[in-house]
Chain A
Amino acid sequence: MNALALRHAAGVLAARRIWGLMYRHLALYRRSWPRVLELLYWPVLQMTVWGFVTAYLAGLQNDVASVAAGVLLGGVLLWEVAVRSQMGFAISFLEEIWSRNLGHVFVSPLRPMELVAALVAMGAIRMFAGVIPAVILAFALYGFGLWTIGPVLVPFFAALMMMGWAVALGVTALILRHGAGAEPLAWSVLFGLTPFAAVFYPVAVLPGWLQPVALAIPAAHVFEGMRAALLDGAVAWGHLGAAFGLNVVWLAAMGWLFLRQFESARVRGALLNIGE
């Protein structure tokens, strides 16, 4: 067999292993309606609350189609892209811990990066399952179509998903390091970043010393870009480039941290009793 055929065969096997782990989670959702409900619940609830807030503010301004309303609702919906991507990844990993199944997964030929690929895919599926209904409902209830941002919405989604995965890699690394004690981070860590991510206000609103912190967060550039698209109809290429550039750095750093903690867990014996 030549090198190309060998590489192809290895790729097929890797894809099969990644699908195996994805299948495990998809089968779980098929058998557990509360899990499916949980996917939809928060994005829809967030959108509903903020929808009423924006409708109220728009009413005060006597401007039902207020652009400000769109900026707020757009912020809510896009932030959910990052939050659900991060939680989808991290909770899928936690499901393996809760079911005491990691011992079997880690003694299979599944490589750590294939595990990450499966968790990324599950993060994406969970995000779309939660955010798409919220986007449709925002249009149905409040007349706000996220797609009015234009085609640049696609790279915005991509950049926010990448940031979610980067944070989730960091959270998973901490779970590998600290076990069950680090579990709450899977739910809370991105909420802690919200004030600095400039979701609802421009970075310029933040104190000067805090602005460099905000500008190191990929999401802040996405939301600056979103405001440019909604308010000016312009594509902020600089912010878009910065978001993707920062994501590459974040993903590389968190990927390195994850692999380091995975190897450290193998040295410490943490994989034998993780979650206890």
Chain B
Amino acid sequence: MSDTPALLVEGLTKRYGPDGPPAVDGLDFVMPRGATWGLLGGNGAGKTTTIGMLLGLLVPSAGRIVALGHDMATDRFAALARMNFSSPYVALPHRLSVAENLRVYAHLYGLRGAERRIAELAAQLQLTDLLDRPAGELSAGQKTRVALAKALVNRPELLLLDEPTASLDPDTGDWVRGWLERYRAETGCAILLASHNMGEVERLCDHVLMLKQGRVVDRGSPAELLARYGRDDLEEVFLDIARDRQRVEMVP
């Protein structure tokens, strides 16, 4: 595995308009290869903007992103070929079948042996029986599995997931989380996860960045954060941060 980190982010800042407040304000972090990190924060904390910049959809106002050793300002397409992304808020064409959708993305990522890869992913994600079904006719859980297959089609070394289990029932959500755990263990893929599901973050993430008003207000492993705030679960920690309640060590 390469020595370069999965993500190196320095002074990352984004303002929409010259006089607007920063949506993301001076983010710094180095995410190692093979790690799973969580990006947490309330609505408007800057998660979507951060992910947009990491994916090259947004140009930062200041700062630098190096993904898998490629500077996103000058060499983003080389990085994008080795990354992928999944979000329930970005759809796949509904009229195309699952197989056709996966074929489109296999080609867009320049994959050789697309059919073999699609069959492999279909078997892993229990999609084989759905390959000929239009994507728009699938249930939420099936769509999530198809979106995951799309996100893994190029065997990414860095995977960005935006609320991967949003709107899924607990059973399907648990299946997806278990699958992601196994996938990371088997492939060493680094995963950056934005989620509002604190149980999911506790289960999957080695490290968490807590965002508020575009800044990292706290960071650490879930266990470190729980200890720091004297809480039993991350949801309470999240609320402490969102409501400006102080950390345990700061309480007199």
A residues in contact (CB < 8 Å) with B: 13, 16-17, 19-21, 23-24, 27-28, 31-32, 95, 99-101, 103-111, 263, 266-269, 271-272
Central interface residue in A28, A108, A268, by most chain B CB within 10 Å: A108
Q: List 19 A-B contacts (CB under 8 A).
A: A17-B110, A20-B106, A23-B100, A27-B96, A27-B97, A101-B90, A104-B85, A104-B92, A106-B57, A108-B80, A108-B105, A109-B80, A109-B81, A266-B57, A266-B58, A268-B16, A269-B16, A271-B58, A272-B57
Enumerate chain A residues within 8 angstroms of B100, measured Cβ to Cβ: 23-24, 27
Contact B91 A101 (CB under 8 A): yes
A267 to B110, CA, bound (A): 27
CB nearest to B57 among chain A residues: A271
> Least Cβ distance of A14 to chain B in Å?
8
Least CB distance from B55 to A in Å reads 4
Q: Are A109 and B77 in contact, with the CB atoms below 8 A? A: yes
Q: Compute the total of residue contacts between A and B using a CB distance below 8 Å.
A: 103
Whether A31 touches B134, Cβ cut-off 8 Å, given contacts A109-B81, A271-B58, is yes
Per-residue interface assignment for chain B, residues 92 to 104, with 1 indicating a CB less than 8 Å from any chain A CB and 0 otherwise: 1111110010011
Cβ of B109: which chain A residues have Cβ within 8 Å of it?
17, 108-109
Contacts A101-B90, A269-B16; is A107 near B107 (CB within 8 Å)? no
Contacts of A17 in B (CB 8 A): 107-110
Q: Given A101-B91, A107-B80, A111-B77, are A266 and B108 also a contact pair (CB < 8 Å)?
A: no
Q: Confirm or deny: B213 has a beta carbon within 8 angstroms of a beta carbon on chain A.
A: no
Which residues of the other chain, A, contact B95 by a CB distance below 8 angstroms? 28, 31-32
Question: Of A21, A24, A271, which one neighbours B96 at CB under 8 angstroms?
Answer: A24
- Roughly how many angstroms separate A99 CA and B134 CA in the complex, as a whole number? 13
- Check: B4 CB closer than 8 A to any chain A CB: no
A123 CA to B150 CA in the complex, in Å? 27
Taking A27-B97, A99-B91, A107-B85 as given, write out 20 further A-B residue pairs in contact, using a Cβ cutoff of 8 Å, ordered by the A residue number: A16-B107, A17-B107, A17-B108, A17-B109, A17-B110, A20-B103, A23-B103, A24-B96, A27-B96, A27-B100, A27-B103, A28-B95, A107-B57, A109-B80, A263-B59, A266-B58, A268-B16, A269-B58, A272-B52, A272-B57
Q: Contact string, B27-71, partner A, CB cutoff 8 A, digits 1/0?
A: 000000000000000000000110010011111000000000000
Tell me the bound Cα distance from A112 to B200 in angstroms: 36
How many of chain B's residues have a CB under 8 angstroms from any CB in A? 38
Give bound CA distance, A33 to B91, whole Å: 22
A19 vs B211: C-alpha distance in the bound complex, in angstroms? 40
The chain A residue with its CB closest to the CB of B58 is: A269
CA–CA, A269 and B56, complex, Å: 10
B49 touches A27 (CB 8 A): no
- B128 within 8 Å of A by Cβ? no
Cα separation A263 to B84 with both chains bound (whole Å):
21
Q: Is B87 an interface residue (CB 8 A)?
A: yes
Chain A residues contacting B14 (CB-CB under 8 Å) are 269
Chain B residues whose C-beta falls within 8 Å of the C-beta of A272 in the assembled complex: 48, 52, 57-58
Chain A's nearest CB lies how many Å from the CB of B156?
A: 11
* Nearest residue, chain A, Cβ from B60: A267
10 nearest interchain CB pairs? A20-B107, A103-B90, A20-B108, A13-B110, A108-B108, A109-B81, A100-B91, A24-B104, A107-B55, A27-B100
User: Shortest CB–CB separation between residue A182 and chain B, in angstroms?
Assistant: 20
In angstroms, Cα B104 to Cα A232, docked, is 50
CA distance in complex: A16, B114 (Å): 11
Q: Which residues of B contact A269 (CB under 8 A)?
A: 14, 16, 49, 52, 57-58
Among candidates B48, B94, B107, residue contacting A23 with C-beta atoms closer than 8 Å:
B107
Q: Kindly report which residue of chain A lies nearest to residue B17, judged by CB atoms.
A: A268
Known: A16-B110, A109-B80. A267 touches B59 (CB 8 A): yes
Q: What separation, in Å, do the CA atoms of A232 and B134 have in the docked complex?
A: 55
Contact of A21 (CB < 8 Å), options: B16, B108, B150: B108
Q: A164 CA to B250 CA in the complex, in Å? A: 67
A167 → B minimal CB distance (Å) = 26
User: How far apart sit A63 and B14, CA to CA, in the bound complex (Å)?
Assistant: 71
Per-position binary interface string of chain B over residues 126-154, scored 1 when its CB falls under 8 Å from any chain A CB and 0 otherwise: 00000000100000000000000010000
Question: Residues of B contacting A111 with CB < 8 Å?
Answer: 77
Distance in Å from the Cβ of A53 to the closest Cβ of chain B?
38
A266 CA / B240 CA spacing, docked (Å): 34
B85 A24 Cβ-Cβ under 8 A: no
> Which residues on B sit within 8 Å (CB–CB) of A108?
80, 105, 108-109
A269: min CB distance to chain B, Å: 5
CA distance A95 to B85 in the complex (A): 21
A29 to chain B, nearest CB (A): 10
The answer to whether B110 touches A24 (Cβ under 8 A) is no
On chain B, the residues within 8 Å of A28 by CB distance are 93, 95-96
Q: How far is the CB of B131 from chain A (nearest CB, A)?
A: 13
